[in-house]
Structure 1
């Protein structure tokens, strides 16, 4: 099995717990600390994948490789890694006759809009990241179609993935609340679909065990998705923060973010683009997952508490 990065770290821990004899290869351009539970191989998916390890048709590929933080990268970086990477991963699977791939896509292919999105919604991506992820999905689907009755492809489109090691949207939100630097930008009812990383990797293994062939696509999010106000209140409750978060007109906050950005705030993730992103819902339907037979191990509050406990009940990071 091959895994990478933040989500891969949690997948490795779960596989080692459930299948201690499984051999795991961690292919990445940066070595992560997995305490000897996986074999690290330096690999850049933008190039042909050639690794000197035994590979059989019974192996499983978990493809998490991506340039994903947005905004934050030149447009070309998303296409180069996400599209070329998909091509090279599928070529590797083709070469060795591997029959199973789990591909982590994103909700970005849906595009930014307030309407509820299901797996049947026509994707209309409006960012380089979303476009590159949709193309990467199609590349994997073409790989599966070459042997329809043999190959198994699971595509997951997670909302915001949070948990230990994330260092992304939820981490910034927590430290913003804790430091008194987060304000609701014009509204409190913005929907922000999300999923706990431990829940996501459990669902991936569940689908491997309950899916024999073909292509399946799942939005991965709590159902129904939570509003930013609900997320903030649960985060405060689970971590013991006693602070009132106030609402500020979006235009005012955008102007302040612009000034802070000019003064070096971009390094802290403070910029008009991120404020604007907070003001637009990611209203993703997780009903298909909820009806799949999979049983969630955590409520949203339990997930935040578990993440907090993973950091010795000191902070979220």
Structure 2
């Protein structure tokens, strides 16, 4: 049996590969990506690979560009194999609009065509909460998607492509996951930036402290993926992936401070003032990654409901604070990165 992970070099793919290696040590895991593990991304400033120096990726790397038809030579592909489709252009802002559509939509088409050709019946697709659109209202899995960014639109279309693949045969199993902010070692994302901003006395609450930021620990997310593979026979299932209830930015900041021992006062800055400062920094090239678009993201809640996941029978291994502590431990109790 094979596990194919498109985008397996990335943050979530690296953690999933490690888990698969532990849970199914005899299975063959293939990392289908255009980036070799441990390789920096030249398009992303200050990017740190999810796999750090001295560590080995527990999957066999195969160069694969999902924007092109997928052909794997010298791999014995069977209908019992599983595909995890993680390959995506996802950092937003950060890419021309066309790149989101080219990779996320064309990639979904090619992954599903690959599964169709080889009779593969199981796909786990990591989508996003971006298809819901940016709004304060609570989003459940039944909420009408209203994406308002190229990334969100491309992810919603990709979901529909996967659903069409599943609908072609009753015995096909499709799990679509919409994670909140995924945090953990190697994320290079929002939580890492938040931690270093707090530690460096550069973070201020941007106009509000009650912004909801739905999130999930990466180790929890990949465990849930394997749980659903074992407890889902056929059809399509959709899950928001986040702690329930979701946490506010103030709760996240205070938990980070407690876990890492930071004695830092985090001030509050009125929204109009921080947007003016972000605009000025944006004109200087966005030092420290601060720009108006990122500040606006901080001010808008990602108010995602995780009740369906909580009722799925899956038992979380970590509370939110325990997850932060485990992440901190993974960095030798030195930092969060």
TM-score bin, normalised by smaller chain: over 0.9
Matches within 5 A, 1:1-317: 1-3=3-5, 4=8, 5-33=10-38, 35=56, 37-52=58-73, 53-147=75-169, 149-265=170-286, 268-317=288-337
CA deviations over 1:189-227 (Å, ceiling 9, x no partner): 000000000000000000000000000000000000000
Q: For residues 142 and 168 of structure 1, what CA distance do their matches in structure 2 show?
A: 32
Shift of 1:265: 2.1
Q: For residues 56 and 19 of structure 1, what CA distance do their matches in structure 2 show?
A: 17
Q: For residues 183 and 15 of structure 1, what CA distance do their matches in structure 2 show?
A: 39
Q: 3-state DSSP class of the match of 2:141?
A: coil
Shift of 1:55: 0.6
If the length of structure 1 is used for normalisation, what is the TM-score? 0.98
Unaligned 5+ runs, structure 1: none
Mapped contact 2:239–2:309 kept (Cα < 8 A):
yes
Q: For residues 269 and 59 of structure 1, what CA distance do their matches in structure 2 show?
A: 40
Q: 3-state DSSP class of the match of 1:182?
A: coil
CA deviations over 1:279-306 (Å, ceiling 9, x no partner): 0000000000000000000000000011
CA deviations over 1:162-196 (Å, ceiling 9, x no partner): 00010001010001100011100110000000000
Shift of 1:264: 2.5
Shift of 1:36: 5.2
Q: For residues 68 and 46 of structure 1, what CA distance do their matches in structure 2 show?
A: 15
Deviating beyond 4 angstroms after TM superposition, the runs of 4 or more aligned structure 1 residues are none
Unaligned 5+ runs, structure 2: 39-54
Q: For residues 182 and 254 of structure 1, what CA distance do their matches in structure 2 show?
A: 13
